Amino acid sequence: MKGLYVAAHSVTFCARMKRDLGLALLLLLSVAAESNSMSPPGKPVLLSCRSPEKETFTCWWKPGSDGGLPTTHRLYYETEKLEGSHECPDYHSAGRNSCFFDRKHTSIWIDYYLTVVASNALGNATSDTFKMDVMEIVKPNAPENVTLQVMKREDNPYLHVRWEQPCGTDTKSGWVTIKYELRVRQENSNEWKEYTSGTQTQFNLYNINPGVMYIVQVRCALDHGSWSEWSNSTSVKMLNYPQKSFWILVSTLSAVPFITAMCILVMKRKYVKLCLLAPIPGPKISGVDVQLLKSGRSEDITNALIINQSFPPMVAWKDETEEYLIVSDDGLLPDPSNSQKRKKSLIIPTGFHLNLEIQCKESTRGQSDWDKVEERKKEIDNFLKSNMSLSVESLSNMEPTQLPNPSNHNGDAESTVWPLANAGYVDIQRHESTQEVDVKEVDYSRVTEVNGDSILILQKEKVSGYMDVQRQEDNIPEDYSRVKEVAGENTVLLQRQNVSADSSCREKGNQYTDCTNPKPRNPHVTGSSKVGVCTQLTCSGYVDTIPANL
């Protein structure tokens, strides 16, 4: 009995034991299973998709927990155009947890609905649906091969930036339009300066400073979509321009002595002026004191100017009518046949002959007169001969020719032609006439004829007083020949003048005139007729004096 009781009790006890053991075992197993994280995968998450050139695109997801078990992920997509779900064509080209859609599988302007399914031994997990349009996920790669170049230009250097479009973008067929942007900063600054380049793959940066390092980056965008990442930094440094500063230094240094020289010149300008522009000495007349002239005393002036003041008193002229002597230039002697005429010719020119015609009325003259004339003439001839002997050598070979009229005493002229010496000096002595006249003999010579350049015909006459009283011809005016002009060395040009009796030629200014008495008209006045002397110093500068001291 007891045995049965014990057996029944043990059977119950064993069953209980098994049950507990099973439970304990189960517990243990479950604990073990939990510690190994074996579970269905967690839900993956689609991150993003991107198309670099509007022809392909890639999508990435992030897997969830894998549940401790090897988990696989699959991407499924649906489009408006395609029926049903399709799986990703390429899981590997773009890396892990990605799906790459090539050209065949890419359509633009249609919506894609993507899902990722993670699955493992224990279960699946599906991500949320991701809707996308390729148009909106276009983001190109950064531009490539960015190069910088410093372009040196006169006073205006600039940076030339060049780059290439990212690989794969098809701008040639016009599938995409690309635009660029670049930014620049200086080495020690954090500020970027941005510029838009448009569709050009190059850009010029002006306004850069030498000696500074510049850093440049470029990025691009397709069809006004998203911008790419900035390219790698490219930097360049511009060299300083030593020439500029060098030249500035040189110019400043050279300016200093230049300025000094200018200052010296300015300070010593008087001296410089004297050196460079020497004054030219003014004209100076010996014997004339400029200061004296300036002071303006007329007497002194005239004294200074007139060197020779010894003018003999002059007889006033009378009846100043000018008459020129007729000078005929013929080598012949006057016709002696003309008994009416009396010719006296004296000298002079080199080769010229002058004939003096004196017309006298024979009736008026007495015999004695003719004798006197003859005598005088002979005297003249003698004198001339004596004088000419001195200068025979210089004379041209002209011999005095005697007129073949020795027998003509009455009215025939004897003319002697003497060539004059170059000196042209004729000095006629005073004729000592026996004839007594009250009038003092005047020592003068009358030039009766003028011919040519160097002719001087002198006729000595002895007259009472100064008058040619013997003459009764009105044709031959009385009196003196005034020297009109001294021409040349040998020549004195005379003019016959009759000085008016009333001429009291007191002139002003620089003419020194002194007329004492009017000249009496009456040729026969003898005796104490006072004769005025006129000395006229005319502008032509000749002195015509006939002294008449009574």
* Closest distance of CB 170 from another protein, Å: 7
User: Is residue 108 close enough to count as binding another protein by CB under 8 A?
Assistant: yes
CB count, 10 Å around CB of 525? 17
Cβ proximity to another protein, 201 vs 490, nearer residue: 201
Q: Which is nearer to another protein, 170 or 322 (CB)?
A: 170
**Interface with another protein includes 173 (CB under 8 A)?**
yes
Alpha-carbon distances of 315 from 467, 512, 547, rounded to whole Å: 10, 13, 6
- Judged by beta carbon, residue 192 or residue 227, the one nearer another protein is 227
Cα distances (angstroms) measured from residue 429 to each of 106, 381, 459: 154, 11, 11
Distance CA 373, CA 414 (A): 10
Nearer to another protein, 92 or 224 (CB): 224
Q: Does 200 help bind another protein (rule: CB under 8 A)?
A: yes
Minimum separation from the CB atom of position 134 to another protein (A): 9
Q: Identify which of 523, 541, 448, 427 has the alpha carbon closest to the alpha carbon of residue 486.
A: 541
Q: Which of 147, 177, 240, 298 binds another protein (CB under 8 A)?
A: 177
Q: What whole-number distance in Å separates Cα of residue 116 and Cα of residue 119? A: 10
3-state secondary structure (DSSP) of residue 77: strand
The verdict on 282 binding another protein (CB under 8 A) reads no
Which of residues 45, 74, 89, 106 is near another protein by CB under 8 A?
106
Spatial neighbors of 55 by CB under 8 A, at least 6 apart, are 103, 106, 168, 170, 175
Taking CB under 8 A as the criterion, the residue among 2, 92, 172, 294 binding another protein is: 172
* Span near another protein by CB under 8 A; candidates 175-183, 258-266, 497-505, 509-517: 175-183
Contacting residue, 175, 195, 512, 542, with another protein by CB under 8 A: 175
Q: Which stretch binds another protein (CB under 8 A): 40-48, 169-177, 252-260, 466-474?
A: 169-177
CB 210 within 8 A of CB 238: yes
Q: What is the DSSP letter of 389?
A: G
- Helix, strand, or coil (residue 275): helix
Q: Does 84 bind another protein (CB under 8 A)?
A: no
Please identify which residue in 223, 320, 379, 485 interacts with another protein, judged by CB under 8 A.
Answer: 223
Q: Binding residue for another protein (CB under 8 A) from 224, 270, 284, 294?
A: 224
Question: Which is closer to another protein, CB of 218 or CB of 314?
Answer: 218
Q: How far is the CB of 138 from another protein (least distance, A)?
A: 10
Closest approach, Cβ 81 to another protein, in A, equals 7
| 109 versus 258: smaller Cβ distance to another protein | 109
- Does residue 137 contact residue 107 with C-beta atoms inside 8 Å? no
Number of residues in contact with another protein, rule: CB under 8 A? 29
Q: Which amino acid is at 52?
A: P
Q: Residue 103, interface with another protein (CB under 8 A)?
A: yes
126 binds another protein (CB under 8 A): no
Stretch in the footprint of another protein (CB under 8 A) among 17-25, 82-90, 195-203, 233-241: 195-203
> Residue 421 burial by CB count (10 A; 0-12/13-18/19+): exposed, middle or buried?
buried
Cβ contacts of 244 within 8 Å, gap of 6 or more: none
Give the burial class of 349: count Cβ atoms within 10 A of its Cβ; 0-12 exposed, 13-18 middle, 19 or more buried. Answer: buried
Q: Residue 181: beta bridge partners?
A: 196, 219
Options 147-155, 199-207, 287-295, 445-453: segment touching another protein (CB under 8 A):
199-207
Tell whether residue 479 is a contact of another protein (CB under 8 A).
Answer: no
Asked whether position 199 contacts another protein by CB under 8 A, the answer is yes
Residues 524-543, mask of contacts with another protein (x by CB under 8 A): --------------------
Q: Quick one: which of 496, 492, 397 has its CA closest to 452? A: 492
Q: Which of residues 306-345 bind another protein (CB under 8 A)?
A: none
Tell me, letter by letter, the H, E, C secondary structure of 468-514.
CCCCCCCCCCCCCEEEEEEECCCEEEEEECCCCCCCCCCCCCCCCCC
Does the footprint of another protein cover residue 208 (CB under 8 A)? no
* Minimum distance of another protein from residue 167's CB (angstroms): 16
Residue 113 binds to another protein (criterion: CB under 8 A): yes
Torsion angle of alpha carbons 361, 366, 370, 375, nearest 10°?
-150
Candidate segments 164-172, 255-263, 435-443, 487-495, binder of another protein by CB under 8 A:
164-172
Entry field: residues in the chain: 550
Closest CB 97 distance from another protein, rounded Å: 23
Distances (CA, A) of 334 to 337, 342, 413, 419: 8, 9, 8, 17
Write out the two tokens for 16.
């209980």
| Shortest distance (Å) from residue 114 CB to another protein | 12
Cβ 97 vs Cβ 47: under 8 Å? no
Bridge partner residues of 131 (DSSP): 113
- Report CA dihedral (106, 108, 110, 114) to the nearest 10 degrees: 40
Query: Quick check: 170 binds another protein (CB under 8 A)?
Result: yes
Residue 379 as a binder of another protein (CB under 8 A): the answer is: no
Out of 5, 13, 109, 258, name the contact with another protein by CB under 8 A. 109
Residues 39-58 that bind another protein (CB under 8 A): 54-55
Residue type, 504: S
Which CB sits closer to another protein, 46 or 534?
46
| Interface pick for another protein out of 84, 174, 287, 541 (rule CB under 8 A) | 174
From CA 18, how far away is CA 36, in angstroms rounded? 27
- Cβ proximity to another protein: between 57 and 444 the closer is 57
CB closer to another protein out of 2 and 103: 103
- Nearest CA to 161 out of 210, 104, 208 is that of 208
Which amino acid makes up residue 140?
P
**Site of interaction with another protein (CB under 8 A):** 54-55, 81, 103, 106-111, 113, 129, 131, 133, 135, 170-178, 199-201, 223-224
